[in-house]
Amino acid sequence: MKNDELLKIVNLSYKKKQKTILQQVNLTLTAGHFIGLAGLNGAGKTTLMRLIAGVATDYQGQIFFQKETDIVKRKALVSYSDELRGFKKRTSLKEINQFYQMVYPDFDIQRYQELVAFLQLDNQQKLGALSKGMKERLIMALTLARKARLYLLDEPFSGIDVLSRKKIIQGMLSWIPEDATILISSHHLEEIVQILDELVVIKDQTVFAHRATDDILASEHCSVEEYFEQLYDEREAQND
């Protein structure tokens, strides 16, 4: 149901090679929302997605999904496609699709075919022959074809040409079920802001802000992009 609690992260900290990447992260996401994930390069956006998806596991703190901590159950409800690193370059899109059908019981083949057509992908092509933008389209099709509760898209548009972006961003509204939530990271907030209900900002190795975009517009008297920039400017001003 819309607005039910989906994800609750409590005091999460994560280190990689003894370096602290995230610390004391607290975040609650509810069902039925489009949420932007913003932060400068290296802030920890990808790391947070990997933790939510259950790809990165060696963390401190707790991650509840629908009030449960079981990672297998979480993986079954969260759709995230890493960079398809596990597949060989000669693997065709058709074979990748077959693999997803086998591994994910919620993979909706009809929805995948619709996404393939919408994103102008060619099932006969090999993974290694895809351009950066076409690979991003494939990741998007595979991720959104699952009937999940939470979708994670990490910089989904960075390689996609400007003309296609608008169409895809608008199209995304129709691909996400009403009671599901999508978390999208992007360095170009201005492009996705019109579809965002909420914004999560990663700064100082933690979730620094989590606000409804309507609330930002009403109480900050600036655009969502300006609000994000100001959060970082404040830090620089303090450091001066």
Shortest Å, Cβ 57 to ligand ATP = 14
Nearer to ligand ATP, 25 or 43 (CB): 43
Shortest Å, Cβ 49 to ligand ATP = 8
Nearer to ligand ATP, 41 or 110 (CB): 41
17 neighbors 198 (Cβ within 8 angstroms):
no
Nearer to ligand ATP, 42 or 128 (CB): 42
Nearer to ligand ATP, 23 or 92 (CB): 23
Rounded Cα gap, residues 148 and 78, in angstroms: 6
120 neighbors 137 (Cβ within 8 angstroms):
yes
Nearer to ligand ATP, 93 or 192 (CB): 192
Amino acid type, 156: P
Q: Dihedrals φ, ψ of 119, to 5°?
A: -90, 5
Q: Dihedrals φ, ψ of 175, to 5°?
A: -90, -20
Alpha carbon dihedral 135, 137, 139, 140, in 10-degree steps, equals 170
User: Which contiguous run of DSSP H or E holds residue 208?
Assistant: strand 206-212
Shortest Å, Cβ 238 to ligand ATP = 21
What number of CA atoms fall less than 13 Å from residue 79's CA on the CB side? 26
In the complex, the residues that contact ligand ATP under the rule CB under 6 A are 16-17, 19, 21, 39, 41-47
Shortest Å, Cβ 78 to ligand ATP = 17
Shortest Å, Cβ 155 to ligand ATP = 6
Nearer to ligand ATP, 38 or 138 (CB): 38
Alpha carbon dihedral 112, 118, 123, 128, in 10-degree steps, equals -110
Shortest Å, Cβ 236 to ligand ATP = 18
